Amino acid sequence: MLCLVSQSISCFTTRMDTRFMNNWIDAAAALKPRTQLFIDGSFRSALDGSSFESIAPRNGAVILSVSAAGEEDVDAAVVAASRAFDAGSWSRADRSHRARVLLRLSELMLENLDELALLESLDSGHPISDARSADVPTAARVFRWYAESIDKVYDEVAPTPQNALALVTREPLGVIGAVVPWNYPLIITAWKVAPALATGNSVVLKPAELTSLSALKLAELASEAGIPDGVFNVVPGLGAVAGRALGMHPLVDKVTFTGSPAVGRAFLRYAGDSNGKQVALELGGKSPQIVLSDAENLEAAASAIAWGIFYNAGQTCHGGSRLIVDEKVHDELVERVLAVGASLTLGDPLDESTQIGAIASEVQLDRVLGYVDVARSEGATVHGGERQHPVGVVDGFYVEPTVFDGVDNAGRVGQEEIFGPALSVTTVSGAFEAVRVANESAYGLAASVWTADITVAHRAAQRLRAGTVWINTYDAADVITPFGGFKNSGSGRDRSLHALDSYTALKTTWINLGDDSLETQS
């Protein structure tokens, strides 16, 4: 198939390789996942019998019905978590014991890799190849990393006078409410649950209603690994019901949330209206990729830019959705980005050759497509932007890689998080204007700078208001570094040793040693 990439990228590959697909389709048909709430060590239906349908983005079909937690169910989970915390079988266990259990959980995740990957792919629309090679192994690595880290973190001794000893120790907060999104369900669950459990907390996890299946499987594996009853609970349900109940519960000591700014602010209100619990938020971004005129490798830049926004169909919190490019290299770079987009294989997530899968829901699909009209109304040139129906797929939620060129950074397309495979391109002149335009955003999650001048790169990184800044790369990351943002992107950090601090509270124990003379002691 021939294609003029300078005019459109609607001719990307949409194919299906039945040599690989049939195995996964058969496995999906035979799959019998857990669908009930997991509370206090056992699976149970919602008390009022409520449920919701889990829809497969690959074809729009109902996978099954999942129990929907109500306020009473959330209360039961939180009470169980609080009771388990007070009992101390986990919260006061030796760190080495918690490490062994979490290491076993990591091993079980890898032993059940195919099932977890299939659940993740069916529920979220991730390509099965990515779920197997990235999502599950990454989540397992996070659990392993925190298991190996927890007994290597030391407490402190304060520099007191000679007649006193002051110990500064870290203690678990208590009950953690973790509310995770649908774009990377298992990975983001691991970011929050692993450090919370490693530090001795109890956890009540509310997965997104679109993607609950892998969380329920994780609960089963956690129990098998040896996590005591009540320490880890999973309550699928609607955000307005289960999420609110978790945010309002007086026995929850902290809520950690990844999702939209509107819901994040709701959790702040819940905290204020209840017990003043801690709230940590990661609320997305509109992350800029700055390419200056001296960037040495435009081919590498184009590849990183395309993958940075088209991977996972653009449903990535820190997806590089804004390209801010110097006018001197604009034409060549955009041409190269379009070419990379055109080369990507969009298709059924259960096809192992698929590189871009489905949008997570029909609601999100309509939202993404709606921005195509907005872009045109704001004067941008649209490359792509059409709904697709891959070969062999009757229905489903697919959008081709899309580029909006000539975007006004102050317009809706320049400012609003689309959360789809849509790149906005804004042209600038020089590094100063590029950084200024990059910072003209309500978000501040991530950014990148492409330049051959290390001084310019360093100065730009200093001035960019973003939690992560990449230089001559994009989306290079690991659990070893913190993740989070500035401004409307939220507060707090996932990943790294800093996450251990976020799930603990400092306690000072001041001991009066009295007279320092040994002669007074008999």
Distance CA 268, CA 272 (A): 6
Q: What angle do CA 485, 486, 490 make, to 5 degrees?
A: 70
Residues 6+ apart with CB under 8 A from 466: 285, 287, 444, 445, 446, 447, 485, 486
Helix, strand, coil share (%) of the chain residues, nearest 5: 40, 20, 40
> Measuring CA to CA, which residue among 183, 440, 432 is closest to residue 424?
440
Can you name the residues that pair with 427 across neighbouring β-strands? 325
> Measuring CA to CA, which residue among 214, 448, 417 is closest to residue 323?
448
Distance CA 232, CA 212 (A): 15
Residues 6+ apart with CB under 8 A from 219: 34, 38, 205, 232, 233, 234
DSSP 13: B
Q: What angle do CA 271, 273, 274 make, to 5 degrees?
A: 65
Distance CA 189, CA 307 (A): 23
DSSP element (H, E) containing 42: strand 42-44
Write the single-letter amino acid at 481: T
> Measuring CA to CA, which residue among 181, 234, 228 is closest to residue 203?
234
Write the single-letter amino acid at 468: T
- Write out the two tokens for 74: 């959330």
DSSP element (H, E) containing 52: strand 51-55
Q: Count CA atoms closer than 13 A to 21's CA, side-chain side.
A: 16
Q: Report, as residue numbers or ranges, the catalytic residues.
A: 282
- Region of residue 29 (phi > 0: left; psi between -120 and 50: alpha; otherwise: beta): alpha
Q: What angle do CA 386, 213, 88 make, to 5 degrees?
A: 140
DSSP element (H, E) containing 175: strand 175-179
DSSP element (H, E) containing 323: strand 322-326
Distance CA 409, CA 461 (A): 20
- Write out the two tokens for 263: 């819901």
